[in-house]
Amino acid sequence: MRFRDYIRDRLWFYVIAALSFGLMLLFLSAYRVSGQLVTFIAVIFILFLISEELVGFFRKRHFYTDLMGKLELLDKKYLIHEMVQKPGFLEGELTYEVLYQAHKAMCEEVSKYQRSSADFREFIEMWVHEVKLPVASLQLMAHNHSDRLGEKFLEQLRRIDGYTDQVLYYARSESAEKDYIIKETSLKRTVSNTALKNREDIQLAGASIETEGLDVSVMTDGKWLEFILGQFIANSLKYTVEGRDIVMRISAEELSDRVLLHFRDNGIGIPERDISRVFDKSFTGENGRSYAKSTGMGLYIVKSLCERLGHTISVTSEQGSYTEFTIAFSKNDFYKM
């Protein structure tokens, strides 16, 4: 708050004060009050006016400057009520009360939507678990009658199972901290489990997986990491170059402060203009529209899970040649204590 702005806002008061002062002088003159007394009264009046305005300005400036300063620093602006103290003047008290009521109403509204969101997420998780039972039954039936149904039928069932898993992990990604367990996890075992879960799709596509340097452990949740690697494998099998053998190479690189897990395929690659957006929600890009039906959710979920787990993920690619995802696991002894 600047003093000139405060003065400008108070112009109506000064106009009234000036008129009152003029009427007072006329009244004193009409009663033939001595000049010295009139001067004395005028000086007192002016000093009172200046003192009152200065005190009022500094009281208000302290409150509003503090309010705006803290508002500027806050990421979550709605918490401003918690950051300021109740002032000692009426306008400030009214402002404080408005902030309090707005904050209270906002908290109640947010709580309502949080409960609604939690109920919906629980329903989705329950639905996914329920629907996986008939899917598993259909897969078993398809295996038993593979001579009549064929691999295409099994492939579609596996896709349905994969999409239901994606729904489940997406529903949990917003509150993953309630569902994961950080512990020392072997990359070699995790990659083996992931390859085993996807072996039928890998075999059907005639793909191969090469590994190197996976005899290292990282601090993560094995189940979530298997899902992330499964998404990489699914994308590698989806975006392939016709006539080229599909090769996926998974390797680990141990540095002084972190472990890097590299997943590289020899597929169609990602156009340079799409690289920065591949982790965006619902972004399909040129490949998703041209080569396969894509929801654009897989890599978004992967990015969300990595952030929840405290890992970083990056991607490099050359169109027509390769795509490589890199996950960085920090070395931290906190979870070993």
pLDDT tens track of the chain, all 337 residues?
677 777 777 788 888 888 888 888 888 878 777 878 888 888 888 888 888 888 888 888 888 888 888 888 888 777 787 788 888 777 888 888 888 888 888 888 888 887 877 777 777 777 776 777 777 777 777 777 766 666 677 777 777 877 787 777 777 666 655 567 888 999 999 999 999 988 888 888 889 999 999 999 999 989 889 989 999 998 898 888 888 999 999 999 999 889 999 999 999 999 888 888 889 887 776 665 565 556 678 888 899 889 888 899 999 999 889 999 999 999 865 444 4
**Rg of the chain (C-alpha set):** 34
Which among 249, 247, 288, 282 has a CA at the least distance from the CA of 270?
288
| End-to-end Cα distance, the chain | 52
* pLDDT of res. 337: 42
Residue found by looking up tokens 């705006």 in the block: 68
* pLDDT of res. 58: 83
* pLDDT of res. 13: 81
The CA distance from 94 to 47, in Å, is 29
φ/ψ bin of 265: left (φ > 0), alpha (ψ from -120 to 50), beta (otherwise): beta
The CA distance from 26 to 320, in Å, is 94
* pLDDT of res. 248: 95
Residue found by looking up tokens 């300005």 in the block: 57
CATH fold for the domain made of 176-336: Heat Shock Protein 90 (3.30.565)
Which among 211, 309, 223, 314 has a CA at the least distance from the CA of 260?
314
Residue found by looking up tokens 């897989």 in the block: 298
Contact present, 206 and 245 (Cβ < 8 Å)? yes
Residue type at 67 in one-letter notation: L
* pLDDT of res. 213: 92
Q: Within a 10 A sphere around the Cβ of 74, how many other Cβ atoms? A: 13
- 269: exposed, middle or buried (Cβ count in 10 Å: 0-12, 13-18, 19+): buried
**3-class DSSP state of 84:** coil
CATH 3.30.565.10 domain residues, the chain: 176-336
Q: Within a 10 A sphere around the Cβ of 16, how many other Cβ atoms? A: 10
* pLDDT of res. 336: 47
